[in-house]
Structure 1
Amino acid sequence: MSERLRPRDLAFLATESTTPMHNAALEVFDPGDSGFDYDRLVSLIADRLAFVPRYRQRLQAVPGHLANPVWIDDADFDLGFHVRRSALPRPGSMEQLRELVARIASRPLDRSRPLWEVYFVEGLEGGRVAVLTKSHQVLVDGRETVDLGQVLLDTSPDVGDLGQDDDWRPREQPTPLTLALGALTDTVQRPLTAVNTLQSTGESVLRRLGAAGERAAEVAGTLSGRRTTSSSPIHQPLSQQRRFVAVRTALDDYNAIRRVHGGTVNDVILATVTGGLRAWLMTRSESLAGMRSIKAVVPMSVIDDELEATSLGTQIAGHVVQLPIAEVSPVVRLHQVSYAFQAHRDTGRAVSARRLAGMAGFAPTTFHALGSRVAADELRRGFDVSVTNVPGPQFPLYSGGARMIETYPVHPLLPDHALAIGVTSYDGGVFYGITADRDALPDADVLGQCLVEALDELKDSVSETRLRAPRGRKKATPKRGGRR
């Protein structure tokens, strides 16, 4: 029997009337002598698709909407449609690559096919290539289906022979009568099916009424000369187009800061985001007096049997924290962020970054996908921005024999949230991926630069602290300094 789409996932599809709800990951590789090219990537994906069978399935609606849509095998599955070749004018710069990523991220996926795409991008300066994977949120549930990017990476450049495709054959396509009878049977045998259908229908009606109400309010506000949207630069109506900003920093800097000031690497990253947002808002002449903090939701890995299990060995929960953007001192900002997370650590539910990154089969791309799902669930709590920080392996990974040298998450935007930030630490680097609405935040590049300057502020504070330390005496390491 085909698996039926859950109401939660159906809600993600309905949200796409205003914003594409897919996750993406941009990975930059150094092919070296590996021979990694488009054809080899196609062969690699053909080899690994058996590990993610959902990637060869599409959604099929049920006649009369008697039940939620079901996943069925795509009888016309075409790998060449999903794995695409692109190129930048040589030598392609990072700015050109970011613009290409923004255009691809702006386009919704074709719902008549399996909901994913992969782009192989050639022409980068230095002979590098990039791979952009793009998967819909309904595709990656973290239970049975992981992100395709998770199965394309190896810990060794030796991948063996490629091109050994499995013997997959699509199952027989269900007829409209079969789908209808299956819906009726599920309703009788599984009462929860009827509940899910009613829930999905009700949510769909409420979303349509809500959208109509918002449009009416906008018209009324326009006619009366009043603004109906928030004055915050982060809360804005979304267009269909995106901007993408990539920022690369060094993990050693974060470790040096936490050793002197305490806290964890996660605390330092969140303090850097806080300082970056503060400086960016100041460049826009925004008054911080009435905006003392920015409310962020930070998806975190926890041990909690009451939450939905994931294939990562933990559950994912949203932790809400106030980012103190009005605070002038970068060190005080760090201590305030660290204090906000200490309560979470003291619960005993938190999973350390080192343990999380060391779990068998763990991959940042899947965690980022789950993090964006958690952020969507937390909309009712009224946060300003989502920040998903994922600790990745501190050793090189390879795809088709080519070494991955950079990795940037590309998160979807939520309704009326013009900004989302993803962070991945990997092989000595900390990589920020900033997704922004193209019209609402035309200065997203400035935010990227402000993040770098905020980190520099914290680095300078380390030097100043060391200079102030009495001679002949080592500065004591804070108790929490050993945590990642």
Structure 2
Amino acid sequence: MAQQHLDRLTAIDASFLAQEGPASHMHIGGVVLCEGPAPRFEEILDHIRSRLHLVPRYRQRLAEPPLEAGRPLWVDDPTFNLEYHVRQTALPAPGTEDQLWRLVGRLMSQQLDRSKPLWEMWIVEGLERGGFALLSKTHHSLIDGISGVDLATVMFDVTPVPAEVPHPDEPWRPHREPTPVDLVAGGAIGLAKAAAAGVAGVLGAIARPQSALRAATEAAEGVGEVVWAGLNPAPATPLNVEIGPHRRYTVVRNSLADFKLIKNAFGGTVNDVVLTVVSGALRAWLHGRGVRTEGVELRALVPVSTRGNHEANTLGNRIAAMRAPLPVYIDDPVARLRAVKLAMDGLKESKQAVGAEVLTGVQGFAPPTILAQASRLNFSTRLFNLIVTNVPGPQLPLYVRGREMTDVFPVAFLPKNHALAVAIMSYNGQMNFGLLGDYDALSDLEDFAEGIRTSLAELVALARSRTSPPRAAGEANGASANGASARRGAGARG
């Protein structure tokens, strides 16, 4: 796995640094609930320490080349201290889940220190129902949601007995602190590698002119679609207001089987059902705020992984963004699902994601000051109302030092002027939502959570009624007659 000292950040990774501000944090995370008593703190530290060599980036920090001569680089942290990154706390009695979600909101409100490796892990004890929680918090420049699933190898095992992990022959020793000349040279090497890849692409295009022409045409169409989307901003809503640094967090537990039931009954994909459920919840939430939804279609920024199979277990972001419709103007849940499916099918056939990747590639040659502006154009917050990200997780139980992981809830991030982010993750038959809101703008975050539950329940009921076998005429008439008789009897008794 290529995670070397003096690696230059990719354009998209650097863009997450450029977009970060005092109120718009660019870290993501997850909350894991585990059964049984928590391992001793020292045992957790030893467990992580024994596996850190699997993710070398966790012991590296950012280094800026002098005079903004290039993008930041990852360098070994000579003062790395695991006890700084792994922390222990406990909830006060009674230790309810509401208390846990409030703690998560507070911890996600605090920015990571850029002078250290950009991650933290919190062990939370004192839960009312027993067990313990693990909260992970990692800067988006280091990792994205899809590769985050691969990083579970650091903490989790697929059996109750922890696996034996092979270790390097030599203990980890940090490289020496880089000099300004080292940083400039490291950036130049990264730029040269990017240029070499570009030359290789040109040579490949010469060898395969027809496929190259098709790719160039798709890329041009994709950039055109991104530009066209930029000329059509998302509608103004109460979600798109100035936000502060403080966060609220809550969750919604769901069954993956319910989403598959709806998908099988009415067509589409699980992700189409997710977007439909979110649309229904947003419709109800907007009505609760007194906002009319006739003719209103919100837009979700939906990250799409472009990571190939050969890039498994690698860090850094391999994502493009699509702007998916949320038809809050449609009252009927099934009609809403069909509208989402139709629109998503069109997006998949479009070149929007290809265009986003092309723009990211162009940014790869931009100096940092231009990159900061270009990343904001590519990630313009005017183009969407909220982030909706759906990460597939393992469909088998995982363990931490022999304790089974019972639940997992993802945590997304809030860009500038965005008060809500919805993250979904499947795990072992679950399909759980993590809802992150601005503390002041989303004081009714629980109302939106209830809207998720109601929106899903409506679709489940309709799917079950569609898929249940019809009764025989005599059975139906008998049931009707019995029901009428029962009602007459109740009336007589009344």
Measured against the shorter chain, the TM-score band is 0.7 to 0.9
Normalised to the residue count of structure 1, the TM-score between the two structures is: 0.75
Secondary structure at 1:19 match in 2: coil
Shift of 1:338: 2.1
CA-based RMSD: 3.7
Whether the 8 Å CA contact 1:140–1:147 is kept in 2: the answer is no
One-letter code of the match for 2:271? N
Equivalent in the alignment of 1:120: 123
Q: Given the alignment of the two structures, is residue 63 of structure 1 paired with residue 66 of structure 2, yes or no?
A: yes
Equivalent in the alignment of 2:304: 300
Q: 1:164 to 1:44 in 2, by over 3 A?
A: farther
Secondary structure at 2:7 match in 1: coil
> 2:187 & 2:270 partners in 1: Cα distance?
52
Whether the 8 Å CA contact 2:256–2:426 is kept in 1: the answer is yes
Equivalent in the alignment of 2:366: none
Alignment of 1:117-266 (within 5 A): 117-140=120-143, 148-160=151-163, 167-179=171-183, 182=185, 186=189, 231-266=236-271
Equivalent in the alignment of 1:410: 411
> 1:428 & 1:174 partners in 2: Cα distance?
47
Whether the 8 Å CA contact 2:157–2:163 is kept in 1: the answer is no
Secondary structure at 1:407 match in 2: strand
Whether the 8 Å CA contact 1:247–1:431 is kept in 2: the answer is yes
5+ residue gaps, structure 2: 197-233, 354-374, 474-494
Equivalent in the alignment of 1:396: 397
Moved more, 134-143 or 310-319: 310-319
> 2:428 & 2:179 partners in 1: Cα distance?
50
Q: Given the alignment of the two structures, is residue 288 of structure 1 paired with residue 289 of structure 2, yes or no?
A: no
C-alpha distance after superposition, 1:128-171 (max 9, x if no partner): 10001111111126899987445322211110579989710111
Equivalent in the alignment of 2:6: 2
Whether the 8 Å CA contact 1:296–1:386 is kept in 2: the answer is yes
**% identity of equivalent residues:** 37
1:20 maps to which of 25, 47, 58:
25
Whether the 8 Å CA contact 2:8–2:187 is kept in 1: the answer is no
> 1:436 & 1:142 partners in 2: Cα distance?
19
Moved more, 182-191 or 276-285: 182-191
> 2:89 & 2:414 partners in 1: Cα distance?
25
Shift of 1:45: 1.1
C-alpha distance after superposition, 1:425-470 (max 9, x if no partner): 1112110011111112111111011100111111222344357946
Whether the 8 Å CA contact 2:112–2:119 is kept in 1: the answer is yes
Task: Report how many residues are paired.
Answer: 408
Whether the 8 Å CA contact 1:424–1:430 is kept in 2: the answer is yes
> 1:123 & 1:28 partners in 2: Cα distance?
12
Equivalent in the alignment of 1:214: none
C-alpha distance after superposition, 1:99-151 (max 9, x if no partner): 00011101000111111100000011221100011111111268999874453
Equivalent in the alignment of 1:480: none
Secondary structure at 2:466 match in 1: helix
Equivalent in the alignment of 2:423: 422
5+ residue gaps, structure 1: 194-228, 351-373, 473-484
Normalised to the residue count of structure 2, the TM-score between the two structures is: 0.73
Q: 1:274 to 1:256 in 2, by over 3 A?
A: same
Shift of 1:11: 2.8
Equivalent in the alignment of 1:88: 91
Equivalent in the alignment of 2:442: 441
C-alpha distance after superposition, 1:70-104 (max 9, x if no partner): 22111111000000001101331111111000111
Equivalent in the alignment of 2:52: 49
> 1:320 & 1:231 partners in 2: Cα distance?
16
C-alpha distance after superposition, 1:186-225 (max 9, x if no partner): 59967969xxxxxxxxxxxxxxxxxxxxxxxxxxxxxxxx
Secondary structure at 1:299 match in 2: strand
Alignment of 1:256-405 (within 5 A): 256-289=261-294, 292-301=296-305, 310-311=311-312, 316-343=319-346, 377-379=378-380, 382-405=383-406
> 1:456 & 1:304 partners in 2: Cα distance?
35
One-letter code of the match for 2:383? G
> 1:137 & 1:234 partners in 2: Cα distance?
22
Secondary structure at 1:389 match in 2: strand
Shift of 1:5: 2.9
Shift of 1:251: 1.9
Whether the 8 Å CA contact 1:30–1:128 is kept in 2: the answer is yes
Shift of 1:346: 6.7
Secondary structure at 1:396 match in 2: coil
> 1:315 & 1:190 partners in 2: Cα distance?
17
One-letter code of the match for 2:55? V
